[in-house]
């Protein structure tokens, strides 16, 4: 959650454009035209022919291929408190071990509303700085892993005084009161967010003989984070307190890119939420406004697969664009959240991706984005299968964002006609 000051015109030696009038003209690919030019006429054509073409591109040219779930994946509930948060929640922590070795695991922190006797729908998302930062709850285990010093540390080690330091992005009570569980995982449990030559995190577990870094079409951090979200889903399917058919995957910024890729690669996620995911997430790359492919690959060379670098300052060569990533979610609901003060992430490009994914939803008989123009700030579009808002304020995940995501999820997970206007919270 790095704050970007949008007045800058240069970053990493690259000019940054913020002027709509300076966007070069470009052509977007048609999600409903096959690579050979033939039209996609049915849901079957989409599922069997077009979707695989789009997947193949994103998998080998953008995010990189990830391995299957390890055969020896193991789950262990390592803590449980049925009276957490003053009695409002069940809190549990589940370690997911990626190999026989007990050293390589991620910890899923879960809060479930404790008045619910039935399995509950759930939001799951990665966090930036450790599970213990999402709530001041003293029962949350402090991560033993490397953490970024942006979190307030000086030695890359988590510390007790930072409990709850990121709580504004995780309104746990709001989520619980509306009948949802929350699960979150520290992204650094899967792959630490710095360039370490892919020697840390999950990568070395999957190297073949003699391999010491991912191949050009293989996963780097974004795909590894998405892979971790799928491993959490493997667990949810076994947890009787969770309605695994109603799990929404959510992420902010870089972790929003990961949430989108998780939604694309794993159809078990029933809903996908991108909060200000920007370049390499919901924003169209060809607009080249705010952060560009070259800028992101320069600053974060370990996020996307190496093949993606061939599009640095070469967006016209992209045979697909991010609207087709959004289309990969169809027919599942997807919500794209933007912020006015986050021009680096190109809010308009995020909106347009959703809009241009619409024809695929139409093929399923659904309305994608329910408007063809961007709505004014703080006027969420909630009525379609693709939700969208741009809110006032800067780059962050806020309670306002969560309120829209909950209202949107209510339509699909609680099927209440009125649910769209009904948020249960003492905070509102």
Q: Which residues bind ligand GTR (CB under 6 A)?
A: 1-2, 253-254, 278-279, 291, 296, 299
Residue 41 near residue 34 (C-beta atoms within 8 A): no
Exactly one of 274, 285, 395, 419 is catalytic; name it.
395
Of residues 304 and 361, the one with the C-beta less far from ligand GTR: 304
Residue 140 near residue 132 (C-beta atoms within 8 A): yes
- DSSP characters for 280-297? TTTS-GGG--SS-HHHHH
Of residues 177 and 221, the one with the C-beta less far from ligand GTR: 221
Of residues 254 and 323, the one with the C-beta less far from ligand GTR: 254
Of residues 1 and 182, the one with the C-beta less far from ligand GTR: 1
To ligand GTR, the closest distance from the beta carbon of 254 in angstroms equals 3
Of residues 222 and 363, the one with the C-beta less far from ligand GTR: 222
Non-local CB neighbours of 221 within 8 Å, separated by 6+ positions: 191, 193, 201, 300, 302, 303
What φ, ψ does residue 62 adopt, rounded to 5°?
-120, -65
Residue 261 near residue 66 (C-beta atoms within 8 A): no
Catalytic, 99? Answer no
Q: What are the beta bridge partners of residue 252?
A: 275
To ligand GTR, the closest distance from the beta carbon of 366 in angstroms equals 29
Nearest to 315 by CA among 25, 90, 115, 54: 25
Exactly one of 253, 274, 353, 419 is catalytic; name it.
253
Non-local CB neighbours of 130 within 8 Å, separated by 6+ positions: 142, 143, 145, 147, 151, 158, 162, 186, 188
Q: Which residue is nearest to ligand GTR (CB)?
A: 253
Catalytic, 253? Answer yes
Euclidean distance between CA atoms 419 and 410, whole angstroms: 6
Euclidean distance between CA atoms 74 and 97, whole angstroms: 5
To ligand GTR, the closest distance from the beta carbon of 274 in angstroms equals 11
To ligand GTR, the closest distance from the beta carbon of 273 in angstroms equals 15
Of residues 126 and 176, the one with the C-beta less far from ligand GTR: 126
To ligand GTR, the closest distance from the beta carbon of 300 in angstroms equals 7
To ligand GTR, the closest distance from the beta carbon of 261 in angstroms equals 13
- DSSP characters for 149-206? GGGS-SSSB--GGGTTTTGGG--HHHHHHTT-EEEEEEGGGTS-SS-STT-STTGGGG
Residue whose token pair is 């300052």: 313
Tell me which residues are annotated as active site. 253, 395
């Amino acid at each position: 959650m790095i704050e970007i000051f949008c007045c800058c015109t240069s970053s990493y030696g690259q000019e940054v454009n913020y002027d709509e009038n300076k966007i070069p003209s470009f052509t977007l690919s048609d999600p409903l035209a096959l690579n050979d030019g033939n039209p996609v006429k049915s849901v079957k054509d989409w599922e069997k022919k077009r979707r695989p073409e789009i997947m193949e591109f994103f998998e080998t040219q953008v995010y990189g291929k990830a391995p299957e779930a390890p055969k020896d994946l193991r789950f262990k509930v390592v803590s449980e408190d049925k009276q957490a948060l003053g009695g409002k929640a069940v809190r549990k922590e589940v370690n997911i071990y990626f190999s026989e070795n007990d050293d390589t695991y991620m910890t899923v922190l879960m809060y479930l509303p404790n008045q619910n006797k039935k399995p509950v729908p759930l939001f799951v998302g990665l966090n930036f700085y450790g599970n213990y930062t999402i709530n001041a709850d003293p029962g949350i285990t402090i991560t033993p892993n490397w953490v970024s010093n942006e979190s307030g540390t000086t030695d890359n080690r988590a510390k007790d005084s930072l409990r709850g330091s990121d709580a504004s992005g995780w309104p746990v009570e709001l989520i619980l009161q509306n009948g949802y569980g929350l699960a979150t995982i520290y992204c650094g449990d899967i792959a630490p967010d710095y360039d370490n030559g892919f020697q840390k995190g999950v990568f070395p577990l999957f190297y073949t003989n003699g391999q010491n870094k991912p191949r050009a079409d293989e996963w780097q951090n974004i795909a590894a984070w998405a892979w971790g979200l799928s491993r959490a889903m493997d667990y949810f399917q076994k947890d009787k307190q969770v309605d695994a058919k109603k799990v929404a995957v959510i992420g902010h910024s870089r972790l929003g890119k990961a949430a989108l890729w998780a939604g694309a690669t794993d159809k078990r996620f029933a809903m996908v939420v991108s909060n200000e995911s920007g370049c390499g997430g919901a924003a169209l790359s060809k607009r080249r406004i705010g952060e560009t492919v070259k800028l992101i690959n320069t600053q974060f060379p370990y996020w996307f697969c190496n093949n993606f670098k061939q599009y640095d300052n070469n967006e016209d060569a992209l045979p697909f664009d991010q609207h087709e990533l959004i289309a990969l979610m169809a027919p599942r609901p997807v919500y794209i959240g933007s912020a006015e003060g986050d021009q680096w992430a190109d809010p308009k490009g995020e909106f347009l991706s959703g809009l241009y994914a619409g024809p695929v939803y139409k093929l399923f008989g659904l309305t994608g984005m329910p408007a063809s123009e961007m709505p004014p700030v703080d006027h969420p579009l909630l009525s379609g299968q693709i939700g969208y808002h741009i809110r006032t304020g800067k780059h962050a995940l806020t309670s306002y964002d969560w309120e829209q995501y909950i209202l949107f999820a209510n339509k699909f997970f609680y099927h209440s006609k009125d649910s769209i206007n009904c948020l249960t919270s003492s905070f509102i």
